[in-house]
Amino acid sequence: MSLLPLFPLPNVVLFPGVPLPLHIFEPRYRQLLADCLADDERFGIVCDESGTEEALRESVGCVAHIRARETLPDGRSNIVVLGEERFVVRGFLDEARPYLVAEVEKFSDDGAMDPHHESLAALRDLSARYVEALGVLNDTGTAGMTWATEPIGLSFQVAALLETPLATKQKALALRSTRDRIQLLLSLLPALADEAAHRAVVHVGARSNGKGGAQPVIEHDS
């Protein structure tokens, strides 16, 4: 068991190895940030709207390591954190702080069943197709996208990218088998990649505004 300051966020699931920008403005979380910067620069992020002990007990979250910080003149801060270990909230420290401090149990994948080579190849292929379509939709392209080489890191990277309900992301975070997580992602990616590709085709057509000319080829299933 270890102690960890908690930052509950209603619409965010943080994954290991994935960066996340945050805007800190509430006084209690300004204090959390100041305390973390004076200590080991780490706190825990859990996906929760209420922020109550009852709701957060036994929830799964991810350690956030502060990697960059910008302090604004009015005391607010912009920070970038990087996800590290996952944890389960087991209890809470009873002390007078404006934010929650949890007793957490950290965990990692069990490693008993490695993912099949074919599953990894399919995950990389589908993810690349999905990200290509998202790049067209966002007018950003895929330049600078670097995929993790290890299966566990790749699975978390892909899980963070998917446009899925928060409950699905939370399930991917909580799974303790890399193989099971990859199978979950593979059950979602074909439909997501096809839908994103269709939207990308429509987006490209609308942007051309009837002017014609060469258009990028977006692969999708018929």
Kindly list the domain boundaries of the chain, sorted by start residue: 2-107, 117-208
Provide the pLDDT for residue 222.
43
8 A C-beta contact, residue 82 and residue 160:
no
Q: Check residue 126 and give left, alpha or beta (phi > 0: left; psi -120 to 50: alpha).
A: alpha
What's the token pair of residue 133?
Answer: 């379509």
Mean pLDDT for back-to-back runs of 10 residues, the chain (222 residues): 95 96 96 96 93 92 98 96 98 92 96 85 94 82 75 96 95 97 97 90 69 51 50
How close are the terminal C-alpha atoms of the chain, in Å? 51
Residue 71's beta-bridge partner residues?
A: 77
Residue in this structure with the two tokens 């007018």, named with its chain if needed: 139
Say how many residues make up the chain: 222
Q: Rounded to whole angstroms, how far apart are CA atoms 17 and 9?
A: 18
- The architecture of the domain spanning 2-107 is Roll (2.30)
Provide the pLDDT for residue 134.
86
pTM score: 0.87
What's the token pair of residue 28?
Answer: 């209690």
Which among 87, 41, 79, 37 is positioned nearest to 62, based on CA atoms?
87
Q: How far is CA 124 from CA 52, 157, 210, in A?
A: 39, 11, 35
Q: Rounded to whole angstroms, how far apart are CA atoms 22 and 25?
A: 10
Identify the DSSP state of 115: P
